[in-house]
Amino acid sequence: MNGTYNFVTIFAALALIPLAARLGAKWIHAAALAGAAAGLIWLSQIGSQYLVLVPMILLGIAWASMMGIPYILVASMVPKERTGVYMGIVNMMIVVPMLVETLTFGWIFENLLGGDGTNAIMFAGALLGCGALAMTWVNPPKENEESPVMPLGAPTEITVYDRVVVGSDGTPSS
């Protein structure tokens, strides 16, 4: 199961880039999270060892989205001179909840989920569903303010250059 979702993640990461460019990163990320939510809730009910690979495919797609699209969203919404600061904040928003989860989930598992792994998987699915719903509240810039890095809410044209040489100050040069 773990190998399946990791294998899918490799190819999904490559496929999500053009999809996000065409359909909007916000909606692709929301769909990926919703798919993982449905997959995990379904996973807790599956009895076939082969059928469990389907939710793992959905989880692999969501993992690829989680590892890339939040960074696209942040890079597209913040001033370029502050990108490093905001990327650090995004990383803290990933790491701090993971630390809190590590310290508290044992208690949650035993006392709130009854020590049942099936309940833990369904709880994870419900939380991913909440994340998908929360993505619908992300407000992309207006169409005339759309980021040249990645369209966030609606399809727009992105200019791709064969080769850009960037100076130490971040400006293109020849």
Between CA 31 and CA 62 the distance in angstroms is 8
Average pLDDT over all residues of the chain: 83
Query: Within 13 Å, how many C-alpha atoms sit on residue 149's CB side?
Result: 16
Residue 136 backbone dihedrals phi, psi, to 5 degrees? -70, -15
pTM of the model: 0.76
**Strand 165-166 relative to strand 172-173: parallel, antiparallel, unpaired?**
antiparallel
Look at the block and give the residue holding tokens 């044209």: 157
Q: Read off the pLDDT of residues 102-159 as tens digits, 9 standing for 90 and up.
A: 999 999 999 999 999 999 999 999 999 999 999 999 876 655 555 555 544 544 444 4
Question: How many CB atoms are closer than 10 A to CB 125?
Answer: 21
Between CA 53 and CA 46 the distance in angstroms is 10
Distance, C-alpha 83 to centroid of its chain: 18
